[in-house]
Amino acid sequence: MDDLKARLDDPALTPFERLVLVLRILRSEQGCAWDRKQTHKSLQPYLIEEAYEVIEAIENEDFEDLKEELGDLLCQIAFHGQLASEKGHFATEDAVNHIVAKLIRRHPHVFGERQDLDPDQVRDQWEQIKIGSGEKKSVLGGLPGSMPALMMAFRVGEKAAGVGFDWHHAPEVLEKVSEEISEIRAEMGRGDKGALEDEIGDLLFATASLARKLDIDPERALKRALEKFRARFALLEDEVRRSQRPFGAYTLDELETIWQRVK
């Protein structure tokens, strides 16, 4: 244990190697009881939480916070690597070497014969390489079932587009959105809840595709819409509170009048 601690001061260690060593110490018998108790599954909530905190720092354009949150996320990644290493599955360095080899393999236009590709061409090439190499058996493979549905809708459309199955222009997708709305209207009159659910799903999928064709992140767009709604609703609540009348005493038209004013 003392030997491991002494190695932390070795100037030849890279920052990443020092992080791996710290986790090895924490997981040792003389380390930390909490760290020794953890498993891949017990760490899942922390991994997700840290990823969301990175996203929030990016959204806020807070680079000092982003530096800290990226470090926290990297710690989670290294922690999983340490657990895998202890079980003899693979070393953390193996995961790093794997992604380095993958990046080189999937960017032949940079590491092979030089080609100037635009971002869409690079994305399409990426998908074609994954299929051609046998790395993926299906164009739509590789998406975890635990992904948020809206994000998955965006990525499914993106992957299909990578092999040419896509609308050419955004107005075509807008027509599809209108078509799905018409189908929802029709199902509302029939009272079949299962069919209505299917049609609403189709509308959400088409909307995600429209966002993709317009180069908009639908997850971010929805989040911004929710934040805007919450901020405006808070102003509406303030007005209702100042009036000393309960919400139930207001008609919908009266609340709509306040809503339009606070907008």
Same-domain check for residues 22 and 71: yes
CA-based end-to-end distance of the chain: 62
Which of 220, 230, 185 shows the shortest CA–CA distance to 203?
185
pLDDT number for residue 16: 93
Q: Are residues 33 and 99 in the same domain?
A: yes
Rounded to whole angstroms, the Cα distance separating 127 from 162 reads: 6
Based on the domain organization, do 241 and 156 belong to the same domain?
no
Whether 211 and 224 map to the same domain: the answer is no
What range does the domain containing 199 cover?
Answer: 139-216
Residue 23 forms part of a structural domain: yes
**Distances from the Cα of 30 to the Cα of 2, 4, 33, 82, 248, angstroms:** 10, 11, 9, 16, 62
pLDDT of residue 1: 58
Q: Which of 8, 47, 221 is nearest to 146 (CA)?
A: 47
Q: Is residue 132 part of a domain?
A: no
Q: In this structure, is residue 126 part of a structural domain? A: no
Question: Which of 83, 105, 127 is at the close of a domain?
Answer: 105
The verdict on pTM exceeding 0.95 is no
The confidence score (pLDDT) of residue 2 equals 67
Q: Tokens 């998955």 map to which residue? A: 152
Per-residue pLDDT, 146:
82
* pLDDT above 80: residue 131: no
pLDDT digits (tens, 9 = 90+) for 176-213: 999 999 999 999 988 899 999 999 999 999 999 999 99
pLDDT of residue 212: 95
Please check whether residue 131 lies inside any domain of the structure.
Answer: no
Whether 203 is covered by a domain: the verdict is yes
pLDDT per residue over 46-95, tens digit each? 999 999 999 999 989 999 999 999 999 999 999 999 999 999 999 999 99
Per residue in 211-228, pLDDT (tens digit) is: 999 999 998 899 899 999
Residues 99 and 176 grouped into a single domain: no
Count structural domains, the chain: 3
* 62 and 45 share one domain: yes
